[in-house]
Amino acid sequence: MGYNVAIDGPAGAGKSTIAKMVAKEKGYIYVDTGAMYRGLAIHFLKKGIDADDRVAIADACRDAEVTIGYEDGVQQVYLNGENVTYMLRAEEVGNMASKSSAIPAVREKLLELQRSLAAEKDVIMDGRDIGTNILPNADLKIYLTASVETRAKRRYDELREKGEACDLEAIAHDIKERDERDMTREIAPLKQADDAILVDSSDMTIPEVVAEICSHCA
């Protein structure tokens, strides 16, 4: 039985960055569940499916296979055998993933893989419902959050560094909408598990957040 760490929290809270660093520090396998949903989102976008077409999305799950591999210790996401890791952070992919992840067929598609990995290995997973739904019996649960303003500024800086045109207010608006969507969806909404430790990173550096979480790990 593996040792499991679950990190949940809203979009832009730094879950993936922090989880990867904790995994490296503690020797865990990092499983980015959000990337898996984004992998499926790419499949839906490639098929030209509208994000609000729940029937078409559910049907498209039948011919999609999302798997995880590791190259030089870095997680890679494959969609039907194609490495789509480089496409995962696109804004349209994130929006499609946020909407489609509320559909039961999408969640069922990925749930089995996520749980089987956790049963066999020492893993750290981050997402929106890891501690409440995917790994309800995780050994350690963290709810990582930050203010909307902080999360928007982080995303803004990330896009600017890549040379992409962006608007801070528009990013903040998008984050607020995504929070509302994630927290009010019918299936496994985003919320802090009763036994999760709250970590607000608004005024913390990345090393401080990593140290805080590692202090609670076995």
**Which residue numbers belong to the known binding site for ATP?**
9-17
Helix and strand numbers (H, E) in the chain are 8, 8
Between CA 170 and CA 178 the distance in angstroms is 12
Rounded to the nearest 5°, which phi and psi values hold at 91?
-60, -40
Choose among 47, 38, 14: nearest CA to 92.
38
> What pairing do the DSSP bridges indicate for beta strands 197-200 and 140-145?
parallel
Cα(190)–Cα(187) distance, integer angstroms = 9
CA dist., res. 27 & res. 38, Å (int):
25
Q: Which residues are annotated as a binding site?
A: 9-17
